[in-house]
Amino acid sequence: MNGMTENHGHVPVMRDRMAELLRPGVEKLGENAVIVDGTLGAGGHTEYFLQVFPQVSVIGIDRDPIALENARERLRPFGDRFQPVQTRFDGLAEAVDEGQGSVVERAREFGIAGALFDLGVSSMQLDQPERGFAYKVDAPLDMRMDPTKGITAADVLNTYSHGELAHVLKFYGDERFAGKIASAVLREREKEPFTTSARLVELLYATIPAATRRTGGHPAKRTFQALRVEVNGELDALKNVIPMICDRLAVNGRVVFMSYQSLEDKIVKKALADLTTSKTPPGLPMDLPGTAPQFSLVTRGAETATEAEIAENPRSAPVRVRAAERIALPDGGVN
């Protein structure tokens, strides 16, 4: 660990491997290289990239104004090499295509050298109990990454129909007892609306069978994950951003996704498979004009963290990493 990274509490998840994956695009573009950190959070990955790639500039995207302000202060020593943008990460197209400033202008002119998406909730947000992401402390049921916009987790619990709520819990949380939990929520909210996490956790303990509670981690984990994904539209944003970033990569530019739950990883896996597969009809001996893939897979399957990386940051344990590199432009060019 070195410098400010150590001062901010932990080593970013797989930071050295992330830098290694992004290096080819950075070296190709040299002093014109721009990395997009699509999930800036506390700024740990961006800080490391700015340290190990002295020629690089970074566009840091986050919808959370608190995270953005903290990261801006943390990265102040790097001056105009860092450009923050407040938006959900699928606002990337507008940020790059219409944004102002020298960093964004270089990204437009030369293409993006690399991009990182460290998905899910950040450790910084988990460490702020008042945000309502953590189930181990009693806090308002908010869970919005941008606390100025949209519905809260309490709104979901208090207004969704049984079917809507059960779908959210089952699809986004893989919760076996989604229907049973939804029924219990509807009964309880008739007595009093949900406002804080402790009451929801108590309901989950009462609803999920004891035998199930003894395995599989905390009984609230899946429900809290599902509510967070619903409140923040996380899966829709992920589906939207993949073609956006790939369209704006330079040749040799790479995009890297770090997923912590299976739904995210499935979306990334399918999208990257589509991007790296020829569109020529099966059986032909060579690609027809305009059908060859413009991208190639960098990772074989999903990479996982090493024991050493998990020791550096335990949050690395569930991560699945997938990456792709641009190998050609739409016209077939490679420059």
Predicted confidence (pLDDT) per residue in 33-87, tens digit = 999 999 999 899 999 999 999 999 999 999 988 889 999 999 999 999 999 999 9
Q: In this model, does residue 259 exceed pLDDT 50?
A: yes
Residue 229, pLDDT score: 92
Q: What is the dihedral of CA 15, 59, 243, 66, to 10 degrees?
A: 80
Q: How far apart are the first and last CA of the chain?
A: 36
Buried b (16+ CB within 10 A) or exposed e, 191-204: eeebeebebbbebb
| Sequence ranges of the binding site for S-adenosyl-L-methionine | 43-45, 62, 89, 118, 125
User: Residue 292: is its pLDDT beyond 50?
Assistant: yes
Query: Annotated binding site, which residues?
Result: 43-45, 62, 89, 118, 125
Count of C-beta atoms within a 10 Å radius of residue 37: 28
Q: Given this model, what pLDDT does residue 1 score? A: 30
Q: Which residues of the chain are in CATH 1.10.150.170 domains?
A: 129-232
Is CATH 3.40.50.720 correct for 129-232?
A: no
Q: Which residue has the higher pLDDT, 134 or 188?
A: 188
According to CATH, what is the number of the domain 3-123+234-326?
3.40.50.150
Mean pLDDT, the chain, whole residue set: 89
Question: Would you say 81 and 58 are in contact if contact means Cβ atoms under 8 Å apart?
Answer: yes
Give the model's confidence band at 146: pLDDT under 50 very low, under 70 low, under 90 confident, else very high: confident
Q: Which residues of the chain form CATH 3.40.50.150?
A: 3-123+234-326
The whole-model pTM stands at 0.87
